[in-house]
Chains A and B, each alone.
Chain A
Amino acid sequence: MARARFSITQLPGFGLIAIVTFVMLYLPIIILVMFSFNEGVSQSRWEGFSLQWYQAAFNNTQVRDVSLRSLWLAVTASGLATVLATLAALGTTRVGRFPGQTMIYALINQPLMVPEIVTGIALLIFVAAIKVQTGYTGMGYLVAAHTAFCIPFAYLPIRARLETLDHALEAAAADLYASPIQAFRYITLPLMVPGILAGFMLGFVISLDTVVITEFVKSAGQDTLPTYMLGQLRRTVTPEMNAIATLFLALSLVIVTAFFLITRTRGR
């Protein structure tokens, strides 16, 4: 009999580890979603199906306000970050090698390495100083902080996309009488779209999710959904929080699915 080729799936315990991992990952989420439909207030005892907590969440004007603020902030910051990241990716891949290139990569990706709490405290001190000087307390601080934080997440997929693009395509466009602007408009930009969309969605999810930075930078009345939920959890926990978290999860799933579909059909 031919010896079977080595496969990690045949090692003893493989199945058990896999099951434990999946349970750890998904069971809490499943329970969270489940109890968002609970009729009672309990997070541990099932009392029957009900949509009352969703109703409560929708009728809660505070929840509506912070959700809209979160979405607005995520779209704005991620949009700005995507534009800047696109320019950075073009500047680092569409030119020849230049001295300091590796350092530029490192600088752009630095926010991924710096602990969020450090960035948060640094921003708190920085923003406080500006507030004192200018008196401005609007959303600008949150937009700027989120944009800066999203740039590396947007930059990575855009740069990856550009690096797989054959430079000969741009040479061919120039050879076929396209000006540099036309070559960008008709060749480079359309081919970058999957990377740009991926960058935007990554930035969007990151901005929507971040607690630490928002917590340190926000002024009064600028709660986002995550900081609002955190604040609520300090008091009593009702399944209303489960309902909000479930909606949040659904939104993330929609975005991730859209991202997957876009990269699969346009990425070729």
Chain B
Amino acid sequence: MQKEIEITGLNKSFGQGASAFHALSGIDLSIGSGEFFTLLGPSGCGKTTLLRIIAGFEEPSTGVLKINGKEVTGLGPSKRPINTVFQSYALFPHMSVADNIGFGLKMLGKPKSEIKSTVAEMLQLVRMEAMADRLPSEISGGQQQRVALARALAPRPRVLLLDEPLSALDLKLRKEMQSELKRLQAETGITFVFVTHDQEEALTMSDRIAVMSAGEILQLGPPQEIYNAPVNRFVADFIGDTNFLILRVKEIGNGEAVLELPGGRQASARLPESISPPVGSRVTAVIRPEQAEPTAAGQGEMQAVVEAATFFGTDTHLHLLLDDAQGFVLRRQNRPDQPSPAPGTRLGLSFAPGALRVLED
């Protein structure tokens, strides 16, 4: 895969001396050409700062940023082959939709005929042909979003940066724009760097995700890997729902730990390479709510009592109490022939090998 963006040893701090705030520390990252790459994290994790550094609105304190193999540190935003879709859209309120879309090309000094044909092409791409002469204040939020996209795509940048572009839209429109963005990316082949705090959005849209917290990248990988094999407690907690269990280590070997489960049975779990807990110590292990299955009482790896059941339409969440009094949530798909068990029912829990994982704290 050809590298579009390469970031090495990047740090960013605001302020001086003891009161300095370290917004980003030790970021190493490379983003492939044509990739849909997502920076995911809670607000204040540094994802927007990283995006602003890539765009050229901020300079890194230390580190190197290369775009298409060329170092761009020190170049302003107008000198980088990158365009941004702003969170507030930042459409020029005194210009028509068409003039907004053509602005970048005009600044690049393209001939009028080329601007006109590209604007027409972009209007078609985002399905806004009928709105070309409207002012931004005369179109809806979803339409403004499309114009902002078209404006950023019109100069054919190598990279498109998107700063939480869907956060202002309602749920239905957001879903629609998610598939719209995927389509636009596939049609244009432009590298997308997408910033969001919405883990579901990140999982459904991205080729790869970088999960960020407190200015660092905690985990970098495809959505499946991030979801199925979170490296630490933060990632496991931030992405999807999960059950945390504190369990005692019985044996260690081969990159796996044998753990003592509530009720006395044992199961083996993958260990992250970074840790080797001593035998007898307690570790944090996780199982996703949909990766365990209810069985008859006395069977399976763990025993539990049903405390409550919450109906969610497609599935039901069973709130269970394990034998050692730790809580556990089980997600079970609803079927008409399988009523959910009543509170107080005893049942067993089984899970596939690999569902139980030990985490770095």
Answer whether residue B172 sits at the interface, using C-beta atoms and an 8 A cutoff: no
Measured in the bound complex, the distance between the Cα atoms of B94 and A177 in whole Å is: 19
Name the one of B55, B86, B108, B137 contacting A177, with C-beta atoms under 8 angstroms.
Answer: B108
Could you tell me the dominant secondary structure of chain A's interface residues?
helix
User: What residues of B have a CB within 8 angstroms of the CB of A168 in the complex?
Assistant: 86-88, 90
Q: Please state if B57 and A171 are interface contacts (CB–CB under 8 Å).
A: yes
Answer whether residue B221 sits at the interface, using C-beta atoms and an 8 A cutoff: no
Known: A168-B88, A171-B57, A171-B77. Contact between A178 and B93, CB under 8 A?
no
Q: How far is the CB of A266 from chain B (nearest CB, A)?
A: 8
Q: How far is the CB of B159 from chain A (nearest CB, A)?
A: 12
Q: Please state if B84 and A177 are interface contacts (CB–CB under 8 Å).
A: no
User: What residues of B have a CB within 8 angstroms of the CB of A166 in the complex?
Assistant: 88, 90
Answer whether residue B303 sits at the interface, using C-beta atoms and an 8 A cutoff: no
Q: Which of B93-114 contact A (CB under 8 A)?
A: 93-94, 103-104, 107-108
Name the one of A175, A179, A187, A268 contacting B92, with C-beta atoms under 8 angstroms.
Answer: A187
Cβ contacts A236-268/B at 8 Å (1 or 0 each): 000000000000000000000000000000001
Q: Please state if B90 and A172 are interface contacts (CB–CB under 8 Å).
A: yes
Interface size on A, residues (CB 8 A): 18
Closest to B57 in A: A171
Answer whether residue B155 sits at the interface, using C-beta atoms and an 8 A cutoff: yes
Q: Please state if B57 and A176 are interface contacts (CB–CB under 8 Å).
A: no
Q: Which of B24-83 contact A (CB under 8 A)?
A: 55-57, 76-78, 82-83
Answer whether residue A138 sits at the interface, using C-beta atoms and an 8 A cutoff: no
Q: Please state if B108 and A175 are interface contacts (CB–CB under 8 Å).
A: no
Interface size band for B: 20 to 34
Q: How far is the CB of B245 from chain A (nearest CB, A)?
A: 46
Answer whether residue B151 sits at the interface, using C-beta atoms and an 8 A cutoff: yes
Measured in the bound complex, the distance between the Cα atoms of B55 and A198 in whole Å is: 36
Q: Which of A95-144 contact B (CB under 8 A)?
A: none
Known: A166-B90, A169-B92, A187-B92. Contact between A176 and B76, CB under 8 A?
no
Measured in the bound complex, the distance between the Cα atoms of B78 and A187 in whole Å is: 15
Answer whether residue A34 sits at the interface, using C-beta atoms and an 8 A cutoff: no
Q: Please state if A175 and B55 are interface contacts (CB–CB under 8 Å).
A: yes
Measured in the bound complex, the distance between the Cα atoms of B91 and A268 in whole Å is: 13
User: What residues of B have a CB within 8 angstroms of the CB of A191 in the complex?
Assistant: 93-94
Count A-B pairs with CB separation below 8 Å.
62
Answer whether residue A29 sits at the interface, using C-beta atoms and an 8 A cutoff: no
Answer whether residue A190 sits at the interface, using C-beta atoms and an 8 A cutoff: yes
Name the one of B88, B93, B103 contacting A176, with C-beta atoms under 8 angstroms.
Answer: B103
Cβ contacts A200-217/B at 8 Å (1 or 0 each): 000000000000000000
Q: Please state if B88 and A175 are interface contacts (CB–CB under 8 Å).
A: no
Q: Please state if A177 and B104 are interface contacts (CB–CB under 8 Å).
A: yes
Known: A171-B57, A191-B93. Contact between A176 and B151, CB under 8 A?
yes
Q: How far is the CB of A241 from chain B (nearest CB, A)?
A: 45
Closest to B109 in A: A177
Q: Please state if B93 and A268 are interface contacts (CB–CB under 8 Å).
A: yes
Known: A182-B107, A268-B137. Contact between A175 and B84, CB under 8 A?
yes
Q: Please state if A172 and B86 are interface contacts (CB–CB under 8 Å).
A: yes
Q: Please state if A176 and B137 are interface contacts (CB–CB under 8 Å).
A: no
Q: Please state if B86 and A176 are interface contacts (CB–CB under 8 Å).
A: no
Name the one of B57, B90, B107, B137 contacting A178, with C-beta atoms under 8 angstroms.
Answer: B107
Name the one of B84, B94, B151 contacting A190, with C-beta atoms under 8 angstroms.
Answer: B94
Q: How far is the CB of A152 from chain B (nearest CB, A)?
A: 27
Measured in the bound complex, the distance between the Cα atoms of B137 and A177 in whole Å is: 24
User: What residues of A have a CB within 8 angstroms of the CB of B77 in the complex?
Assistant: 171, 174-175
Measured in the bound complex, the distance between the Cα atoms of B83 and A187 in whole Å is: 17
Known: A171-B77, A171-B86, A268-B137. Contact between A176 and B104, CB under 8 A?
yes
Q: Please state if A177 and B90 are interface contacts (CB–CB under 8 Å).
A: no
Answer whether residue A173 sits at the interface, using C-beta atoms and an 8 A cutoff: yes
User: What residues of B have a CB within 8 angstroms of the CB of A179 in the complex?
Assistant: 78, 107
Q: Please state if B76 and A174 are interface contacts (CB–CB under 8 Å).
A: yes
Q: How far is the CB of A142 from chain B (nearest CB, A)?
A: 37
Measured in the bound complex, the distance between the Cα atoms of B155 and A178 in whole Å is: 12
Measured in the bound complex, the distance between the Cα atoms of B152 and A178 in whole Å is: 13
Sample of 13 more A-B contacts, CB < 8 Å, known A169-B92, A174-B77, A176-B151:
A166-B88, A168-B87, A168-B90, A171-B90, A172-B84, A172-B86, A175-B83, A176-B83, A176-B103, A177-B78, A178-B107, A179-B107, A186-B103
Which residues of B pack against A, CB within 8 Å? 55-57, 76-78, 82-84, 86-88, 90-94, 103-104, 107-108, 137, 151-152, 155
Sample (5) of A-B pairs whose CB atoms are under 8 Å apart: A171-B84, A173-B92, A174-B76, A175-B78, A177-B155
What are the 10 closest A-B residue pairs judged by CB atoms, nearest first? A176-B104, A168-B90, A172-B90, A177-B107, A174-B77, A178-B107, A175-B77, A177-B78, A175-B84, A174-B78
